[in-house]
A and B are shown apart, each in its own frame.
Chain A
């Protein structure tokens, strides 16, 4: 077992276990914390794959930004000590059947598929490459999605403010 395999398995176990805890924990703040662990482990996977920039983004934006946002809203809307009610059994059974069936179907399909794997390019991705790719308009350039995303972010920001602000009446 190589180091890579070992690390992958560690991260996988963390991800799967804490994902499960996230969706089953009855204390909502804990669920948010478990989600944080999942996201951090995912960024570990990215580090493993030598996408350092991406891993950093994952940490700062996901773990640092979104989870904090979620925790804030939890604090705004519920008590910390409050325990969530257990969902009804029938609902859990139906959901579990759907999820497991889907998972089995997908995994079977994945395992039956042959992928053409390429030899690894060990070189790290430079920030410079990413920046140029982000702003170039040529082939493998992403100027247009970049612009679209920026407009989307602006719209989302304004939209959230309008939605969340108190009505005068």
Chain B
């Protein structure tokens, strides 16, 4: 038996760093805070790697399956004899994999930020909150029970809010942070309801019990039906609502594009690689129950599939490079959800589950790389808009090379990482749902198109007039790019079927070339169209967009989802719910209080004359009182 109790330090180190840098932030030079934060994350990264090595290669398997270990467990709140909330560390294949993803990306982002955020006013604050975020995210993935997960889930929301609103002097950043917080918070309400229903029906929060082979969730909560679905299905749907909010699934996606107001490293860390996949992780964590509730899983698949297509269409029309990447993220996460949704449980059947985790893993690398590369570009030209860029490949050679690798990876060109994971998703979809499978072919093509549209617009085409000659980013920024590029290139060769599977049992799987080759071809077609349209600056792309007419305009305006939300909240909620409630509060609740205050005021005004400040009046009152009492007790109250 290997001792894993040190894994608690993976959680504690970022917390300590957060507290220390948060409290002493302004005492030191900013760079000291940055180095403390980076060093802390470096240790976490090493610990995660060691843990992963020990877990996957040293620890004995039980009946060929990876164990699920409680490396650390502490009973925190005792609610009833059976129901209690623990804080602990749960190690199983997906949580260990997530540890690797988070610590790697977070470490890279820390190093990158040392260069990118240099000279910013809130440098120390930035690193401090970054540590808080790492702490929350790590706590989320190693949660032993759904309640601990919920706590860290909210912490993640808070730190994301703080980071999006990092430039709090900018109105748009403030609005974006509020939007992100409110939308995800609204989704979290569903999550909480789901947790309550689930724990009420099963009597436990614990993941090991809930997702074990004899889970109480399989038997309880099946009887009562509501709108044709059982209690357990409803609780799963509510939990999925929380996951959809964090993972920006349609229709709760509206916060993610706006969240790009945060500093670019934040977008890379939170809105590409870690936080937004929390929803996927949540569904994967609860997968046995989802699998048992097929109708809920069906919804997961369709929401994921639709979001991936929807986001891909919008991504093709956007000009802000970070927004393109944001929609691309939504699209890729939709793919992961879809993979989970079409997955079966156990062995070959659980291919989708494995593919989803695999894609999560590879996507973290190339999407973080894309964002950090975008950060380097923005750093060089001080603009977010691709039509203000062009011909940058000569000025930014390292960024160009790594960005190209990332684009190839996300487009699914072998041998880069994205190809393998995306292929597995396509195979899983093919075996379970042909409609979704067709949709994903389309998405794959569009992904390649919009990524290369971005790539050509930025690095090729006519050179623009810049304020000053763009220059390559410093080493602190290029080093993470190179490391992530290596990851994006080789992560696809990791044998995930042996490591992360739905039932922890390894299985054999080979690339199905019958599906892979068409997907490569589709990707190449997408790249080809992008090359034709954008490699040289020409009017063809404009003509195409005019030809598409209304559809293009709608996609460019993100299908007016934001406007729909605004209509619902401003016109309907504000006018017909908030106004009457506000009136009630102002006139009835406050009115009562005001009346009480008014009566007190008037009464005190009347009696304050007694406090005249005239000593002799007081003395007279005192003497009269004494005489009165003496009279009372000597003559009247004498039994």
Chains A and B touch (C-beta atoms under 8 A apart) = yes
Interface residues of A (CB under 8 A from B): 91, 94-95, 98-99, 101-102, 105, 109
Check A109/B627 contact, CB under 8 A, given A94-B620, A98-B620.
Answer: no
* A91 vs B630: C-alpha distance when bound (angstroms): 23
Q: Are B624 and A105 in contact (CB under 8 A)?
A: no
Residue pair A105, B620 in contact (C-beta under 8 Å): no
Is A98 within 8 A of B623, CB to CB? yes
The answer to whether B634 touches A102, judged by C-beta atoms less than 8 angstroms apart, is: no
Is B631 in contact with chain A by the CB < 8 A criterion? yes
Cβ contact of B634, chosen from A91, A95, A98, A109, cutoff 8 A: A109
Pairwise interchain contact B620-A95, C-beta atoms closer than 8 A: yes
In the assembled complex, the Cα of A43 lies from the Cα of B638 at a distance in Å of: 39
* Contact yes or no, A102 B620, CB < 8 A: no
Which of B626, B627, B630, B634: most chain A Cβ within 10 A?
A: B627
A108 closest partner in B (C-beta): B634
Q: Which 10 pairs of residues, A with B, have the shortest CB-CB distance? A: A102-B627, A98-B623, A98-B624, A101-B627, A105-B630, A94-B620, A98-B620, A105-B627, A109-B634, A105-B631
CB pairs A–B below 8 angstroms (18 shown):
A91-B616, A94-B620, A95-B620, A98-B620, A98-B623, A98-B624, A98-B627, A99-B623, A101-B627, A102-B623, A102-B626, A102-B627, A102-B630, A105-B627, A105-B630, A105-B631, A105-B634, A109-B634
A98, A105, A109: most-surrounded residue (chain B CB, <10 A): A98
Contacts of A109 in B (CB 8 A): 634
Residues on B with C-beta less than 8 A from A99 are: 623
Closest to B627 in A: A102
Q: Chain B contacts of A94 at CB under 8 A?
A: 620
**Shortest CB distance A99–B (Å):** 8
Main secondary structure of the interface of A (DSSP, over half): helix
Query: Chain A: which residue is nearest B621 at the CB level?
Result: A98
A141 CB to closest chain B CB (Å) equals 34
CB distance from A88 to the nearest CB of B (A): 11
B626 cross-chain contacts in A, Cβ below 8 A: 102
B residues near A (Cβ < 8 Å) are: 616, 620, 623-624, 626-627, 630-631, 634
Q: Considering the chains assembled together, what is the distance between the CA atoms of A94 and B634 in angstroms?
A: 23
CB-CB < 8 A to A102: which residues of B?
623, 626-627, 630
Known: A105-B627, A105-B631. 16 other contacts (CB 8 A): A91-B616, A94-B620, A95-B620, A98-B620, A98-B623, A98-B624, A98-B627, A99-B623, A101-B627, A102-B623, A102-B626, A102-B627, A102-B630, A105-B630, A105-B634, A109-B634
A105 — which chain B residues lie within 8 A by C-beta? 627, 630-631, 634
Residues of B within 8 A of A95 (CB): 620
CA distance A101 to B624 in the complex (A): 9
In the assembled complex, how far is the CB of residue A92 from the closest CB belonging to chain B, in whole angstroms?
A: 11
**Chain B residues with CB below 8 A from A101, complex form:** 627
Q: How far is the CB of B54 from chain A (nearest CB, A)?
A: 77
**Chain B residues within 8 Å of A98, by CB:** 620, 623-624, 627
Closest chain-B Cβ to A85's Cβ sits at a distance in Å of 14
* CA of A94 to CA of B617, assembled, Å: 10
Which residues from chain A contact B620 at a C-beta distance below 8 Å?
Answer: 94-95, 98
Docked Cα-Cα span, A101 to B627, in Å, equals 8
Identity of the chain A residue whose Cβ is nearest the Cβ of B631 in the assembled complex? A105
Residue numbers in A under 8 Å from B623 (CB-CB): 98-99, 102
How far apart are the CA atoms of A101 and B630 in the complex, in Å? 11
| Least distance between A114 CB and chain B CB atoms (Å) | 16
**B167 CB to nearest chain A CB (Å):** 52
Distance to closest chain A CB from B616 (angstroms): 8
CA distance A53 to B374 in the complex (A): 106
Q: How far is the CA of A165 from the CA of B624 in the complex (A)?
A: 38
Cα A99 to Cα B626 with chains together (Å): 11
Smallest CB-CB separation from A99: which chain B residue? B623
Alpha-carbon separation in the docked complex, A105 to B636 (Å): 13
B616 nearest in chain A by CB position: A91
Write out the residue numbers on chain A whose beta carbons fall within 8 Å of the beta carbon of B631: 105
> Contacts of B624 on A, CB cut-off 8 Å?
98
Residues of A within 8 A of B630 (CB): 102, 105
- Chain B nearest CB from A90 CB (Å) reads 11
A105 and B629 CA atoms in complex are apart in Å by 11
Docked Cα-Cα span, A94 to B627, in Å, equals: 13
A106 CB to closest chain B CB (Å) equals 8
Complex alpha-carbon distance, A102 and B623, angstroms: 8
What is the CA–CA distance of A91 and B617 in the complex, to the nearest angstrom?
9
Smallest CB–CB gap between A26 and chain B, Å? Answer: 18
B628 to chain A, nearest CB (A): 9
Provide the residues of chain A in CB contact with B627, threshold 8 Å.
98, 101-102, 105
How distant is the Cα of A135 from the Cα of B300 in the complex, in angstroms?
97
